[in-house]
Amino acid sequence: MTRCFISGSMAVAEAAQLAGVQVIAAYPITPQTGIVEALARKVATGLLGAEMIPVESEHSALSAVVGASLAGARAFTATSSQGLALMHEVLPYASGLRLPIVMAVANRSLASPVTIFNDHQDSLPERDSGWIQVYVENAQEAFDYLLIAYRVAEDAQVLLPFMVCLDGFSVSHTYEPVDIPAVELVNTFLPPFRANYPHLDLAEPKVFNVMAFPEHFEEFQRDKHESNRKVLGLLNEVYDHFARVFGRRRQNLEAYRVEDAELVLVGMGSMMGTVRGVVDDLRARGQKVGMVRMVCFRPLPVQEIQAVLQGAGAIGVLDRDVSFGAGGILYQDIARSMYNSQGKRVPAVNFIAGLGGRDVNPATIQKCFYRLASVASSGYITSAEELQWPDENEALLRAWGVGDKHGN
Amino acid sequence: MAISLKSLPEEEFVAPGRGGCAGCPAVLGARMASKVLGKNTIQVTSTGCMCVNYGYYAATRFPFVHTLFENAGSIISGIDAALKARGEREGINLFAYCGDGGTVDIGLQALSGAVERGHRFLYICYDNEGYMNTGTQRSGATPPGARTSTTPVSEISPGEGRPFRRKKDMVRIMAAHGIPYAASASLAYPLDYLRKIKKAIAIDGPTFIHLQSPCLNGWGLAESQGVAVARLAVETCVFPLYEVEEGRVLNINVKPREKKPVTEYLQVQGRFRHLFTPRWQGEIAKFQAEVDRNWEMLLALEQATGSRGNQ
Q: Which of the residue ranges A140-144, A172-176, A250-254, B163-167 would you say has the lowest mean pLDDT? A: B163-167
- The average confidence (pLDDT) of chain A is 96
From the list A201, A208, A206, the residue with the least C-alpha distance to A97 is A208
Subunit contact A70:B112, Cβ cutoff 8 A: no
Subunit contact A63:B54, Cβ cutoff 8 A: no
- To test the contact with chain A by mutation, choose from B71, B111, B117, B121 the residue with the greatest count of A C-beta atoms within 10 A, namely B71
Instruction: Please name the residue ranges forming H helices in A165-317.
Output: 183-189, 214-246, 271-284, 302-309
Q: Which of the residue ranges A101-105, A207-211, A280-284 would you say has the lowest mean pLDDT? A: A207-211
Kindly report the nearest CA distance between residue B8 and chain A, in angstroms. Answer: 21
Q: Is some CB atom of chain A closer than 8 A to the CB atom of B19?
A: no
Q: How confident is the model at residue B297 (pLDDT cuts 50, 70, 90)?
A: very high
* Number of neighbours of residue B185 by Cβ within 10 angstroms: 32
Subunit contact A208:B64, Cβ cutoff 8 A: yes
The stretch B172-200 carries a mean pLDDT of 98
Cross-chain CB nearest to B75 (options A23, A63, A205): A63
Q: How confident is the model at residue B41 (pLDDT cuts 50, 70, 90)?
A: very high
What DSSP character marks residue B153?
B
Residue of chain B whose alpha carbon sits nearest to that of A77 = B78
Interatomic CA distance for residues B110 and B73, integer angstroms: 5
From the list A322, A266, A324, the residue with the least C-alpha distance to A297 is A266
Q: In this structure, are residues A377 and A337 in contact, taking their beta carbons and an 8 Å threshold?
A: no
Q: Is some CB atom of chain B closer than 8 A to the CB atom of A59?
A: yes
Q: Is some CB atom of chain A closer than 8 A to the CB atom of B15?
A: no
At A11 the pLDDT is: 98
* Number of neighbours of residue A319 by Cβ within 10 angstroms: 27
Residue of chain A whose alpha carbon sits nearest to that of B119 = A53
Residue B16 has pLDDT above 90, yes or no: no
Q: Is some CB atom of chain B closer than 8 A to the CB atom of A63?
A: yes
The domain spans of chain B are 20-305
- To test the contact with chain B by mutation, choose from A22, A39, A48, A56 the residue with the greatest count of B C-beta atoms within 10 A, namely A56
**Cα A162–B82–A230 angle (5° rounding)?**
25
Which CATH architecture describes the domain A2-246? 3-Layer(aba) Sandwich (3.40)
The domain spans of chain A are 2-246, 253-397
Chain A positions in Cβ-Cβ contact with residue B93 (cut-off 8 Å): none
**Tens-place pLDDT, residues B59-107:** 889 999 999 999 999 999 999 999 999 999 999 999 999 999 999 999 9
Q: In this structure, are residues B125 and B104 in contact, taking their beta carbons and an 8 Å threshold?
A: yes
Interatomic CA distance for residues A370 and A56, integer angstroms: 49
Residues near B124 by beta carbon (within 8 Å), at least 6 away in sequence? B29, B33, B95, B96, B97, B98, B185, B197, B208, B209, B210, B211
At B1 the pLDDT is: 60
Cross-chain CB nearest to B92 (options A54, A65, A202): A202
**Tens-place pLDDT, residues A29-68:** 999 999 999 999 999 999 999 999 999 999 999 999 999 9
Task: Tell me the backbone φ, ψ of residue A65, rounded to 5 degrees.
Answer: -70, -35
Chain A positions in Cβ-Cβ contact with residue B82 (cut-off 8 Å): 22-23, 51, 67-73, 75
Please give the share of chain B, as a percent, with pLDDT higher than 70.
98
Residue of chain A whose alpha carbon sits nearest to that of B62 = A205
Q: In this structure, are residues A53 and A46 in contact, taking their beta carbons and an 8 Å threshold?
A: no
Q: How confident is the model at residue B233 (pLDDT cuts 50, 70, 90)?
A: very high
Residue of chain B whose alpha carbon sits nearest to that of A76 = B78
Please give the share of chain A, as a percent, with pLDDT higher than 90.
94
Q: Is some CB atom of chain B closer than 8 A to the CB atom of A216?
A: no
**Whole-complex ipTM:** 0.96
Cross-chain CB nearest to A23 (options B54, B75, B82): B82
Chain A positions in Cβ-Cβ contact with residue B74 (cut-off 8 Å): 25, 55, 59-61, 63-64, 67
The stretch A283-296 carries a mean pLDDT of 98
Subunit contact B110:A56, Cβ cutoff 8 A: yes
- A159, A255, A306, A373, B129 from A289: Cα distances, Å: 39, 11, 17, 10, 67
Please give the share of chain B, as a percent, with pLDDT higher than 90.
90
- A300, A349, A352 from A108: Cα distances, Å: 22, 25, 16
Chain A positions in Cβ-Cβ contact with residue B75 (cut-off 8 Å): 63-64, 66-67, 70
A-facing residues of B in 48-77 (CB < 8 A) are 52, 54-68, 70-71, 73-77
Interatomic CA distance for residues B258 and B279, integer angstroms: 30
Q: Is some CB atom of chain B closer than 8 A to the CB atom of A355?
A: no
Interatomic CA distance for residues B23 and B230, integer angstroms: 13
The stretch B208-212 carries a mean pLDDT of 98
Q: In this structure, are residues B236 and B291 in contact, taking their beta carbons and an 8 Å threshold?
A: yes
**Tens-place pLDDT, residues A204-237:** 999 999 889 999 999 999 999 999 999 999 999 9
The stretch A265-277 carries a mean pLDDT of 98
Q: How confident is the model at residue B311 (pLDDT cuts 50, 70, 90)?
A: very low
Q: Which of the residue ranges A10-14, A132-136, A400-404 would you say has the lowest mean pLDDT? A: A400-404
Interatomic CA distance for residues B124 and B207, integer angstroms: 9
CATH 3.40.50.920 fits A253-397, yes or no: yes
Subunit contact A59:B110, Cβ cutoff 8 A: yes
Pairing mode of beta strands A75-79, A289-294? unpaired
Q: How confident is the model at residue B310 (pLDDT cuts 50, 70, 90)?
A: very low
Chain B positions in Cβ-Cβ contact with residue A53 (cut-off 8 Å): 77-78, 81, 117
At B308 the pLDDT is: 62
Q: How confident is the model at residue B56 (pLDDT cuts 50, 70, 90)?
A: confident
Highest CATH level, class, for B20-305: alpha beta
